[in-house]
Amino acid sequence: MNRLLALMTALLTSVNATALRAEQTPVVVELFTSQGCASCPEADEMLARLGSRENVIALALHVDYWDYIGWKDKFALSGFTKRQKGYAHVFDKRMIYTPQMVVNGVREVAGNRPMDVTDLVQAEAAKGLAVPLTIERSGDTLSISAPAEQDLADTDVILVRYTPSASVDIPRGENAGKTLAYSHIVTEWSDIGDWNGQSPLSATVPVSGASPIVVLVQEKGYGPIRAAARLR
């Protein structure tokens, strides 16, 4: 009985430690997707599954370059196409494509290849992010803080808002006749400041509405994501 109790205690300790680490070291998964892309629904579903995990911050960035083939994506923003092109330059890719997932700003993978996506997310989860980030909301004010990190390169501090879920009837284009479910639909992407890690990060920004909030700290020039936090 004592051995069983000791085993259960050790197991619970391990689970709690894993849960704590998951909260402290989130994995950021950006999906570049489009309602006009026939290859995207599987990736959209994959992102929804990933986003249900406590240690994954899932973000769907709908691009606009497939709009010409018959259906205009209702969630697309040209800024997301620009962001994907920025990653393409960093990853030395000649073309951009959907569905593409970028994980922690450091590696990319086709979003409709579940095994490859899972392996990449697990690998990045094991590494963790460089800086612990804390965000707290009080009314219409968001407070952002992080300890100094002397080895940090120059970074952008980014505020992201997203819609948790929505469904869309698509009458035209490659997905004509389908009603598709989407999740973690990014609606706002704002650069709210710079940080070089030489002193602690401490900032406040105004926020409104009930949609989830994500803050990213990313090296300039579409570099690695060094810190991330979310309020749902």
Note the pLDDT tens digit of each residue in 43-92.
999 999 999 999 999 999 999 999 999 999 999 999 999 999 999 999 99
pLDDT band at 21 (very low <50, low <70, confident <90, very high): very low
Q: Which CATH number fits domain 26-231: 3.40.140.10, 3.40.30.120, 2.60.40.10, 3.40.50.1000?
A: 2.60.40.10
Phi, psi of 67, deg, nearest 5: -60, -25
Look over the chain and give the mean of its residue pLDDT values, rounded to a whole number.
91
pLDDT surpasses 50 at 5: no
Which of 166, 153, 164, 178 is CA-nearest to residue 212?
Answer: 164
Q: What is the pLDDT of residue 81?
A: 98
pLDDT band at 17 (very low <50, low <70, confident <90, very high): very low
Considering the chain, what percentage of its residues have pLDDT values greater than 90? 89
Residues 6+ apart with CB under 8 A from 83: 61, 189, 222
Q: What is the pLDDT of residue 31?
A: 98
pLDDT surpasses 60 at 24: no
- Domain locations along the chain: 26-231
Note the pLDDT tens digit of each residue in 158-181.
999 999 999 999 999 999 999 999
Q: What is the pLDDT of residue 22?
A: 35
Among 16-25, 80-89, 134-143, 162-171, which stretch is predicted with the lowest mean pLDDT?
16-25
> What is the C-alpha to C-alpha distance for residues 227 and 128, in angstroms, rounded to an integer?
9
pLDDT band at 99 (very low <50, low <70, confident <90, very high): very high
- Spatial strand order of the sheet with 155-170 comes to 107-110, 100-103, 27-33, 56-62, 178-195, 155-170, 213-219, 225-231
Residue 214 neighbours by CB distance under 10 Å = 24
Note the pLDDT tens digit of each residue in 208-228.
999 999 999 999 999 999 999
Q: Judging by beta carbons within 10 Å of its beta carbon (0-12, 13-18, 19+), is residue 58 exposed, middle or buried? A: buried
pLDDT surpasses 80 at 15: no
Which of 54, 60, 34 is CA-nearest to residue 170?
Answer: 34
> What is the C-alpha to C-alpha distance for residues 182 and 200, in angstroms, rounded to an integer?
37
> What is the C-alpha to C-alpha distance for residues 26 and 142, in angstroms, rounded to an integer?
19
